[in-house]
């Protein structure tokens, strides 16, 4: 009797120390080869890819190694007439990439590189009657976009441009029996969506709607015997959940409910000592996405060589404070 | 980006792979620039579909190309015969199905499919439901497919009881059915609604559901989905919004109100006060001095309370959405410094809504069944945790089950040690609920020492407390004590407290003992500089290693009595 627990086993020879310099070198070199296959086919998320790399470098205190001018020029070319920003030049504007662009510009203290008023207009135009947000004019609704909209406006200090009450109301209709949140009303709870909704509620000062005990329990149950965290029940552990789950726990005041040492062990084991960078789990291929979330997760767990990270925005606390943004956590 | 194994290859294999990718990339880049070029030229034709189709079948997350495809379909819809459009869109559904077979988790592909269904002259919703059945056979946890299913069900008005039956079938044939249980939790309140019930489902249906879950639990006690769902069935919902306590103090010139739920004054709710039938003006603030959502609200009476007479104070809470009101009166006699009224709750109901008789007996039967399961599976943490919740639901003040509760928590901490912090906090919560539930509501002096507390909760119920002893516990934070604006004495020796954050809201605090804790800096106390602190003891903390720490502390806290 008994369903076996889906998990991985950390190999004995797994990496046990943080190879910070190797990760910085990996990110610094990433994207240098503009004709790399992997790099090219991920052009559709380039703006987010840049945000992942730059934020990782900032957290590792080496962002000066990146080409600031090139980044700013790129962003400028990605803002469209409607105010929205696209993933790359010639691609279509979307809330996801608009947020990534604003995050990068905030880090570089260069918000004047885009027309921020138009950005606000773009975000406002996407809010629907029920408070939800389309990702773009084609009408996909997802609580990820609620987070993108609210976080974007918060960074621009223009939260009140949208109907905050309705936006909150919509997110609450996505709350489930387990205290968590899904993409849309009726959708199953998923750690990524939990992070988006909890982050959004934190920014709007409505965390009292969250049942912290219930959700915190669901979140701490993401931790598997290997020490890694999964995204929802009966899924494999993945380093990116070291961010989505951990940041959510931090926001609701229950970070101490997971076993810190075991999680650190899992994250460190997911490093690639050859190439630098983090993969989703030990033995897999690395990428900038998992590298950022591995670094950010370690920061939340207290790694002193990494800058403190803000659990709502996934940007260094230093940048968030400098921007004058204060979000109360539970 | 996920689940790609790093495979070691030889230099020769690397080179072959590199060449192959170079070729692939050449074709890919050509198709991409071709597609973008056509789009910029305003060419919305089948060649556009062909080009974008090549790319999207290997890269279905290339969202801008799905957008171009949508533009082509909209153009066709506006410019071609209905039959042609229908055929084209049917083909698109076939194309999408092959994309989804390769990549069943692409947001872009699923959204595009709903776009086609919404724009098709003759959509075949039954076929779409079948498609969902097929994809859920491959992967019962594919949330994209479940969401698409819900879209189909909603748009084409599929019978919800049929959907409920689908989830029953899934649950009975499979393990790993969290998604099905979740869908049930959404269907039941719609098919069998009861808006007065805390779980919003008709009680008799819920009781049946208990049986369904029990079957699952007994078939496989390790099936966590069923246990999560079971927890929902035990949930007892929210309290009605009411005033629990009104407190008036001539000393602070304040009226304090404790509610049962969080509100924001002047944003959906209003709080108004009159004294001897005259309305009182002033700004309502929460304990932190802002007007963000709070459960405790404080009004500073401008010009103070009228002297020389008995006062009849009336507080009214108005809910704007439905104009319901709740009022509470309080008498403050001429010579009285302070007065208050605190609502009484039937024992065991303050933190959970009472179980109905039917629900009670179901809980008892279930407890028996789960106890039986426990004897067969003594190390199963889901069983242990559920026993805990059942016992707490049946016996909120631990009259009958105190020892069993303690034992279950100890066992849980042993068999599921990664989550021991959660179990310890749960134990603390149960303990505090029991104490708060049993003690006199007018208690102003509380001793919570030596109770193994790792956290303080429900502190809003301690809003009247003036003296509190939480010594000899395992507390790390005092933040929850920000809810105690009447606090004058706090003894918190022998804990693991590393911050005084929260105490800055205890504006009447005079005596603060924090011996043997984990406080590292004197600077941390600067947030308390405006408190009337006279007696502060921090011996036995790491900060005592700082030279002249007592002087430094006196410099920060001007009201400290000379030693």
Residues of A within 8 A of B175 (CB-CB) are 3
Residue A236 φ then ψ, to 5°: -75, 155
CB contact under 8 A, B232 and A178: yes
Nearest to B59 among A41, A188, A227 (CB): A41
pLDDT digit string, tens, across residues A55-79: 999 999 999 999 999 999 999 999 9
Per DSSP, A95 falls in state H
A124: Cβ–Cβ under 8 A, 6 or more apart, which residues?
A161, A162
CB contact under 8 A, B225 and A259: no
| DSSP codes, B411-479 | HHHHHTGGGHHHHHHHHHHHHHHHHHHHS-TT--EEE-TTS--S----GGGGTT-SEEE--SS-----G
CA distance A84 to chain B (A): 14
Chain B interface disruption, residue of A1, A30, A37, A184, most B CBs within 10 A? A37
Closest chain A CA to residue B235? A177
Residues of A within 8 A of B147 (CB-CB) are 182-184, 186-187
Question: Tokens representing B319?
Answer: 């809910």
Asked whether residue B237 carries a pLDDT value surpassing 80, the answer given is no
Question: Tokens representing B238?
Answer: 């929210």
Q: pLDDT value at position B359?
A: 78
Listed residue (B157, B232, B221, B258) closest to B369, CA to CA? B221
CB contact under 8 A, B429 and A213: yes
State percent of chain B over pLDDT 70. 99
Nearest to B63 among A44, A205, A280 (CB): A44
Mean pLDDT of B501-515: 98
Residues of A within 8 A of B293 (CB-CB) are 205-206, 208
Sheet holding B269-275, edge to edge: B278-280, B269-275, B311-319, B324-332
Residues of A within 8 A of B174 (CB-CB) are none
Question: Tokens representing A114?
Answer: 């885009």
A284 conformational bin, left if phi > 0, alpha if psi -120 to 50, beta if neither: beta
Closest chain B CA to residue A256? B421
Q: pLDDT value at position B563?
A: 58
Nearest to B63 among A92, A142, A217 (CB): A92
Closest chain A CA to residue B56? A41
For residues A330 and A201, give the distance between their C-alpha atoms in angstroms, rounded to a whole number. Answer: 11
CA B241 to chain CA centroid, Å, is: 19
Residues of A within 8 A of B67 (CB-CB) are 92, 136, 138
Closest chain B CA to residue A8? B3
B306 conformational bin, left if phi > 0, alpha if psi -120 to 50, beta if neither: beta
Question: Tokens representing A324?
Answer: 């004058």
Strands (E), B142-285: 243-249, 254-263, 269-275, 278-280, 284-285
Q: pLDDT value at position B236?
A: 67
* Count of CB atoms situated within 10 Å of the CB of B541: 21
CB contact under 8 A, B228 and A233: yes
In a 3-state reduction of DSSP, which class is residue A191? helix
- How does the average pLDDT of chain B come out, rounded? 94
B307: Cβ–Cβ under 8 A, 6 or more apart, which residues?
B334
Listed residue (B230, B231, B234, B205) closest to B216, CA to CA? B230
Asked whether residue B139 carries a pLDDT value surpassing 90, the answer given is yes
Q: pLDDT value at position A1?
A: 43
* Count of CB atoms situated within 10 Å of the CB of B76: 19
Longest dimension (CA), chain A: 62
Closest chain B CA to residue A287? B1
Q: What is the ipTM of this complex?
A: 0.97
Relative to beta strand B467-469, strand B489-491 is parallel
Listed residue (A249, A271, A326, A283) closest to A16, CA to CA? A271
Residue A284 φ then ψ, to 5°: -90, 175
B548: Cβ–Cβ under 8 A, 6 or more apart, which residues?
none
Nearest to A176 among B70, B185, B262 (CB): B185
Q: Is the dihedral of CA A197, A203, A209, A210 positive or negative?
A: positive
Q: At how many degrees (to 10) do helices A241-251 and A288-300 cross?
A: 30
For residues B21 and A258, give the distance between their C-alpha atoms in angstroms, rounded to a whole number. Answer: 42
* CB B536 within 8 Å of CB B553: yes
pLDDT digit string, tens, across residues A167-224: 999 999 999 999 999 999 999 999 999 999 999 999 999 999 999 999 999 999 999 9
**In which residue are the tokens 């009247």 written?**
B464
CA distance B186 to chain A (A): 6
Q: How many CB pairs under 8 A join A and B?
A: 153
Nearest to B1 among A213, A256, A289 (CB): A289
Residues of A within 8 A of B182 (CB-CB) are 176-178, 188-189
Nearest to B2 among A92, A238, A283 (CB): A238
For residues B104 and B86, give the distance between their C-alpha atoms in angstroms, rounded to a whole number. Answer: 24
- How does the average pLDDT of chain A come out, rounded? 97
Q: Is the dihedral of CA A5, A7, A8, A10 positive or negative?
A: negative
Question: Tokens representing B18?
Answer: 């590199």
Mean pLDDT of B115-132: 98
Chain A interface disruption, residue of B55, B103, B171, B228, most A CBs within 10 A? B228
In a 3-state reduction of DSSP, which class is residue A125? helix
Residues of B within 8 A of A277 (CB-CB) are none
Mean pLDDT of A267-276: 97
**In which residue are the tokens 């086919």 written?**
A41
Closest chain B CA to residue A262? B418
Compute the C-alpha angle B69/B73/B77, nearest 5°.
170
Q: pLDDT value at position B354?
A: 63
For residues B408 and B415, give the distance between their C-alpha atoms in angstroms, rounded to a whole number. Answer: 10
Mean pLDDT of A41-56: 97
Kindly indicate the confidence band of residue B7, based on its pLDDT and cuts at 50, 70 and 90: confident
Chain B interface disruption, residue of A233, A261, A327, most B CBs within 10 A? A233
Residues of B within 8 A of A214 (CB-CB) are 231
* CB B152 within 8 Å of CB B158: yes
Kindly indicate the confidence band of residue A35, based on its pLDDT and cuts at 50, 70 and 90: confident
Closest chain B CA to residue A260? B418
Going from the C-alpha of A175 to that of each of A250, A253, B192, B390, the distances in angstroms are: 19, 19, 19, 24
CB contact under 8 A, A262 and B418: yes
Q: pLDDT value at position B303?
A: 85
Which residues is B246 bridged to in the sheet? B257, B341
Listed residue (B66, B74, B72, B65) closest to B35, CA to CA? B65
Buried-state track A108-120, b at ≥16 Cβ within 10 A, e below 16:
beebebbebebbb
pLDDT digit string, tens, across residues A220-246: 999 999 999 999 999 999 999 989 999
CB contact under 8 A, B232 and A1: no
Chain A interface disruption, residue of B33, B34, B58, B63, most A CBs within 10 A? B63
CA distance B521 to chain A (A): 19
Listed residue (A251, A267, A141, A146) closest to A202, CA to CA? A251
Burial of B507 per CB tally in 10 Å (0-12, 13-18, 19+): middle
* CB B406 within 8 Å of CB B426: no
Kindly indicate the confidence band of residue B21, based on its pLDDT and cuts at 50, 70 and 90: confident
CB contact under 8 A, B293 and A206: yes
Which segment of A249-253, B219-223, B417-421, B467-471 scores lowest on mean pLDDT?
B219-223
Q: Is the dihedral of CA A260, A265, A270, A272 positive or negative?
A: positive
Q: pLDDT value at position B346?
A: 84
Q: Looking at the whole model, is its pTM more than 0.95? A: yes
* CB B295 within 8 Å of CB B457: no
CB contact under 8 A, B421 and A188: no
Which residues is B317 bridged to in the sheet? B271, B326
Nearest to A183 among B147, B262, B429 (CB): B147
Nearest to B185 among A136, A177, A233 (CB): A177
Closest chain A CA to residue B5? A284
Helices (H), B80-124: 82-102, 107-119
CB contact under 8 A, A256 and B229: no
For residues A241 and A70, give the distance between their C-alpha atoms in angstroms, rounded to a whole number. Answer: 31
Closest chain A CA to residue B224? A233
């Amino acid at each position: 009797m008994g369903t076996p627990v889906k998990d991985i086993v950390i190999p004995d020879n797994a990496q046990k120390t943080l190879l910070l310099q190797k990760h910085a070198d990996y990110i610094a070199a990433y994207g240098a080869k503009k004709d790399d296959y992997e790099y090219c086919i991920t052009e559709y998320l380039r703006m987010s890819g840049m945000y992942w790399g730059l934020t990782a470098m900032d957290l590792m205190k080496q962002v000066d190694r990146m080409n600031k001018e090139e980044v700013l020029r790129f962003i400028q070319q990605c803002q469209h007439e409607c105010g929205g920003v696209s993933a790359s030049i010639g691609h279509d504007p979307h809330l996801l990439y608009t947020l990534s662009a604003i995050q990068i510009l905030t880090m570089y203290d260069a918000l004047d590189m885009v027309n921020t008023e138009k950005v606000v207009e773009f975000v406002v135009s996407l809010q629907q009657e029920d408070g939800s947000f389309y990702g773009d004019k084609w009408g996909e609704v997802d609580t990820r976009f609620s987070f993108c909209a609210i976080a974007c406006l918060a960074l621009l200090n223009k939260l009140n441009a949208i109907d905050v009450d309705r936006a909150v109301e919509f997110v609450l209709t996505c709350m489930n029996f387990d205290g968590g949140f899904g993409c849309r009303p009726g959708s199953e709870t998923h750690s990524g969506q939990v992070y988006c909704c909890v982050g959004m509620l934190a920014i709007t000062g409505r965390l009292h709607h969250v049942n912290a005990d219930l959700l915190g329990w669901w979140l701490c149950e993401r931790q598997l015997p290997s020490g890694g965290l999964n995204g929802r029940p009966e899924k494999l552990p993945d380093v990116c959940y070291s961010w989505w789950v951990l940041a959510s726990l931090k926001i609701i005041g229950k970070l101490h409910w997971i076993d810190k040492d075991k999680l650190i062990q899992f994250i460190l084991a997911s490093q690639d000592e050859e190439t630098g960078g983090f993969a989703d789990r030990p033995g897999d291929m690395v990428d900038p996405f998992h590298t950022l979330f591995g670094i950010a997760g370690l920061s939340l767990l207290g790694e002193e060589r990494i800058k403190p990270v803000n659990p709502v925005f996934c940007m260094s606390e230093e940048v968030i404070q400098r921007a004058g943004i204060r979000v109360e956590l539970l | 980006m996920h689940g790609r194994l790093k495979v070691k290859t030889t230099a020769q294999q690397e080179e072959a792979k590199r060449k192959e990718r170079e070729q692939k990339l050449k074709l890919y880049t050509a198709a991409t620039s071709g597609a973008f070029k056509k789009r910029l030229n305003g060419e919305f034709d089948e060649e556009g579909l062909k080009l974008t189709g090549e790319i999207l079948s290997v890269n279905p997350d290339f969202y801008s190309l799905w957008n171009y495809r949508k533009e082509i379909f909209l153009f066709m819809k506006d410019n071609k015969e209905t039959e042609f459009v229908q055929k084209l869109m049917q083909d698109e559904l076939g194309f999408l199905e092959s994309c989804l077979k390769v990549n069943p988790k692409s947001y872009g592909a699923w959204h595009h499919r709903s776009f086609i269904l919404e724009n098709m002259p003759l959509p075949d919703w039954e076929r779409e439901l079948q498609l969902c059945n097929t994809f859920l056979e491959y992967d019962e946890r594919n949330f994209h497919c479940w969401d698409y299913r819900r879209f189909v069900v909603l748009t084409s008005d599929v019978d919800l009881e049929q959907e409920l039956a689908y989830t029953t079938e899934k649950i009975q044939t499979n393990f790993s059915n969290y998604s099905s249980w979740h869908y049930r939790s959404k269907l039941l309140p719609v098919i069998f609604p009861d808006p007065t019930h805390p779980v919003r489902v008709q009680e008799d249906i819920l009781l049946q559901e208990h049986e369904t879950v029990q079957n699952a639990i007994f078939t496989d006690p390790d099936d966590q989905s069923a246990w999560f769902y079971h927890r929902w069935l035990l949930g007892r919902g929210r309290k009605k919004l009411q005033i629990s306590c009104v407190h008036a103090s001539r000393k602070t010139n304040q009226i304090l109100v404790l509610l049962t739920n969080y509100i924001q004054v002047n944003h959906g709710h209003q709080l108004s006060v009159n004294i001897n039938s005259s309305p009182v003006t002033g700004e309502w603030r929460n304990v932190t001095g802002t007007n963000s959502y709070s459960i405790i609200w404080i009004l500073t009476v401008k010009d103070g309370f009228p002297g020389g007479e008995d006062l009849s104070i009336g507080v009214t809470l108005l809910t704007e959405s439905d104009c319901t009101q709740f009022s509470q009166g309080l008498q403050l006699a001429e010579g009285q410094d302070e007065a208050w009224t605190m609502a009484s709750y039937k024992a065991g109901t303050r933190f959970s809504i009472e179980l109905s008789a039917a629900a009670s007996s179901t809980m008892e039967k279930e407890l028996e069944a789960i106890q039986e399961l426990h004897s067969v599976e003594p190390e199963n943490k889901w069983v242990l945790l559920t026993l805990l919740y059942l016992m707490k639901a049946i016996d909120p003040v631990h009259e009958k089950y105190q020892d069993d509760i303690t034992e279950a928590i100890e066992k849980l901490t042993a068999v599921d040690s990664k989550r021991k912090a959660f179990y310890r906090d749960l134990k603390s919560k149960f303990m505090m609920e029991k104490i708060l539930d049993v003690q006199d509501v007018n208690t102003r002096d509380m001793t919570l020492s030596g109770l193994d507390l790792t956290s303080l909760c429900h502190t809003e119920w301690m809003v009247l407390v003036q003296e509190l002893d939480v010594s000899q516990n395992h507390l790390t934070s005092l933040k929850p004590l920000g809810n105690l604006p009447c606090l004058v004495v706090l003894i918190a020796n022998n804990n693991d407290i590393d911050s005084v954050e929260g105490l800055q809201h205890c504006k009447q605090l005079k005596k603060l003992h924090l011996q043997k804790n984990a406080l590292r800096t004197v600077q941390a106390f600067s947030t308390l500089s405006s408190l009337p602190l006279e007696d502060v003891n921090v011996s036995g903390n790491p900060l005592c290693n700082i030279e002249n720490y007592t002087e430094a502390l006196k410099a920060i806290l001007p009201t400290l009595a000379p030693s």
